Amino acid sequence: MDTEQARGESTLMNIATVSDLEGASGDLLILPVFEERVWGPGAAEIVQSLGDWLESYFDGLDFTGKVGQAAAVPGDDRFGRILFLGLGAEADADTLRKVAGIGGRAATRYARVVTTLAQVEIDGAGDAVVYGFLLGQYTFDKYLSKPKPAQTTDLVLVGDVGADDIERGRVVAAGVALARDLVNEPAAGKKPEVLASIAADMAAAAGIDTKVYDEVEIEAEGFGGLRAVSLGATNPPRMVVLDYQPEGATKSLALVGKGIVFDSGGLSIKPASGMETMKTDMSGAAAVFGAIKAIAELGIAVNVTAIAPLTENMTGGAAQRPGDIFTARNGKTVEVLNTDAEGRLVLADGLSLAVEAAPDLIVDVATLTGACMVALGKKVAGVFSYDDDAAAQVEAAAARGGEKVWRMPFEKEYRSKLDSPIADIKNIGDRYAGAITAALFLAEFTDERPWAHLDIAGPARAENDDGYITKGGTGFAVSTLVALAEDMAG
């Protein structure tokens, strides 16, 4: 994989605006419809010009304008085809993103697409429509002998849509698309050194400073958790640190992303079925890369550091053994009783490093536990913290970013589950509350600073296309992290 391929091609299309529908033309027109078939912006005129048959045709389809409903009809002299999309009773930004995603996916065969979706009266409608449309068109087809990229070259938004809105939608979508590309890439194509150089190239292009620690520096710098996990792998680990320091920034945010490019479980090996999707286990790293890229491109006035420990978790002859002990970057010793609880080991070093710069807020993002997925399912991420303000900041940012998160208890009484008789802490608890004990483990490395942990084991990957979500890597958390940086910039 190279940087050229990791660029979210769909996000490069031309996006223009026209003040009203009259005089516009294209291959496809997308029109919104509210519940009970209340015509959205521009739709009534078009429906009238199409003729009486349309209402009875929609009756027959039971197309009433429910969220996600879609009905296409042949066009007129100006549009090749007309697609009506249901927005439900009261659309919000989430619905608009989702419906624009459905529109984007339905529009892939049309070169010039015109829509009045951004005229729906919602703050940031243009942003939501651009974001959803671009991500709905996302494909990962580089390994197909017959790639089928989206044919859309022009998206025309009808209405008074601000350039900043369009820019934000495009830039955040490009950050998400980068994260999806990195997650969808097979592990063989994203060895730690390769992924580190893709991140470094991305950073250079976005005006972000980069430091990459190689395996020798990782050992010398005391990144003991990252080193321990990497011992079973032939491909050497990397610690990536990206630094965005804009002028005028007063606050600082550290983002730490779990970067296990493949999780076999190590010697505590996973069953074959559990390994099938474990190239996804670097989704946290992908999210912090996508987020810092978008934050820098938008010029948000916050200092942001993205830290990503990258390694495979493999079973080679030099692999760490259950019962082994290592010393983490912050000096704490860890007894590793299950090598499949590896994410927390590399995050221990990532968080320790983040703490050293004393940022105002630290957020880590990780596909950390199956237990979190059992608790919250595939669509909702867990938020964990001892700090109510930090958790609330992440919850607010996620709400604005259109991503579902739920605060989980940070139950300190469970800390004793991690007591080891021979080290400062062990890396697993018992069979209960596995997502919480994982968070309690991470908290040993945050020095009681403002911190929140996002467990994205469920939503990092989707089994099906759904709105702007595409099957495979989702790029979850990019949108939330960008919103968080904006909130901190004030």
Q: Catalytic residues, which ones?
A: 270, 344
Q: Taking CB under 5 A as the rule, which mask of x and - marks residues 242-271 in contact with Zn ion?
A: ------------------x--x--------
If one counts every other C-beta atom within 10 angstroms of the C-beta of residue 130, the result is 30
Does position 402 interact with ligand BES (CB under 6 A)? The reply is no
For 112, half-sphere exposure in the C-beta direction (CA atoms, 13 angstrom radius) is: 9
Does position 266 interact with ligand BES (CB under 6 A)? The reply is no
Nearest to 175 by CA among 475, 480, 488, 489: 475
* Smallest distance from ligand BES to CB 4, Å: 29
361 or 428, CB closer to ligand BES? 428
Q: CA-CA-CA-CA torsion for 174, 175, 181, 187, nearest 10 degrees?
A: 170
**Which residue in 108, 269, 370, 447 binds ligand BES (CB under 6 A)?**
370
Number of residues in contact with Mn ion under rule CB under 5 A? 3
Which of Zn ion, ligand BES, Mn ion, none has residue 434 at its interface (CB below 5 to 8 Å by kind)?
Answer: ligand BES
* Smallest distance from ligand BES to CB 223, Å: 18
* Smallest distance from ligand BES to CB 336, Å: 11
159 or 475, CB closer to ligand BES? 475
Number of residues in contact with Zn ion under rule CB under 5 A? 4
Number of residues in contact with ligand BES under rule CB under 6 A? 15
Does position 263 interact with Mn ion (CB under 5 A)? The reply is yes
* Smallest distance from ligand BES to CB 426, Å: 11
Which of Mn ion, Zn ion, ligand BES, none has residue 218 at its interface (CB below 5 to 8 Å by kind)?
Answer: none
* Smallest distance from Mn ion to CB 227, Å: 17
Nearest to 231 by CA among 315, 167, 352, 174: 315
Q: Taking CB under 6 A as the rule, which mask of x and - marks residues 273-312 in contact with ligand BES?
A: --------x-------------------------------
**Which residue in 127, 312, 335, 342 binds ligand BES (CB under 6 A)?**
342
If one counts every other C-beta atom within 10 angstroms of the C-beta of residue 423, the result is 18
Does position 236 interact with ligand BES (CB under 6 A)? The reply is no
**Which residue in 102, 182, 187, 428 binds ligand BES (CB under 6 A)?**
428
Q: Taking CB under 6 A as the rule, which mask of x and - marks residues 451-470 in contact with ligand BES?
A: ------x-------------
Distances (CA, A) of 364 to 199, 355, 367, 400, 420: 18, 12, 10, 19, 25
Nearest to 241 by CA among 352, 153, 321: 352
Cβ pair 31, 59 in contact under 8 A:
no
d(C-alpha 130, C-alpha 52), whole Å: 32
Does position 338 interact with ligand BES (CB under 6 A)? The reply is yes
Which strand (E) or helix (H) includes residue 349?
A: helix 343-356
**Which residue in 94, 185, 281, 444 binds Zn ion (CB under 5 A)?**
281
Tokens standing for residue 194: 């390769």
260 or 460, CB closer to Zn ion? 260
Amino acid at 271: P
Cβ pair 472, 401 in contact under 8 A:
no
* Smallest distance from ligand BES to CB 415, Å: 15
Nearest to 95 by CA among 138, 137, 119, 66: 66
Which of ligand BES, Mn ion, Zn ion, none has residue 428 at its interface (CB below 5 to 8 Å by kind)?
Answer: ligand BES
d(C-alpha 320, C-alpha 314), whole Å: 9
Does position 363 interact with ligand BES (CB under 6 A)? The reply is no
CA-based end-to-end distance of the chain = 37
* Smallest distance from Zn ion to CB 369, Å: 9
Lay out the sheet containing 425-426: strands in order across: 324-327, 333-336, 425-426
* Smallest distance from Mn ion to CB 181, Å: 23
Cβ-closest residue to ligand BES?
370
Q: Give the contacts of 25 (CB within 8 A, at least 6 positions apart).
A: 78, 79, 112, 114
Does position 83 interact with ligand BES (CB under 6 A)? The reply is no
106 or 438, CB closer to ligand BES? 438
If one counts every other C-beta atom within 10 angstroms of the C-beta of residue 204, the result is 12
Q: Give the contacts of 272 (CB within 8 A, at least 6 positions apart).
A: none
Q: Which of residues 308-347 bind Zn ion (CB under 5 A)?
A: 343
Q: Which of residues 321-340 bind Mn ion (CB under 5 A)?
A: 340
- Percent composition of the chain: helix, strand, coil (DSSP 3-state, to 5): 40, 20, 35
Q: Is 145 exposed, middle or buried (0-12, 13-18, 19+ CB in 10 A)?
A: exposed
Query: How remote is the C-alpha of 456 from its chain's centroid?
Result: 9
Q: Which of residues 37-96 bind Zn ion (CB under 5 A)?
A: none
* Smallest distance from ligand BES to CB 337, Å: 9
Residues that bind Mn ion (CB under 5 A): 263, 340, 342
Residues that bind ligand BES (CB under 6 A): 263, 281, 338, 340-343, 367, 369-371, 373, 428, 434, 457
Residues that bind Zn ion (CB under 5 A): 260, 263, 281, 343
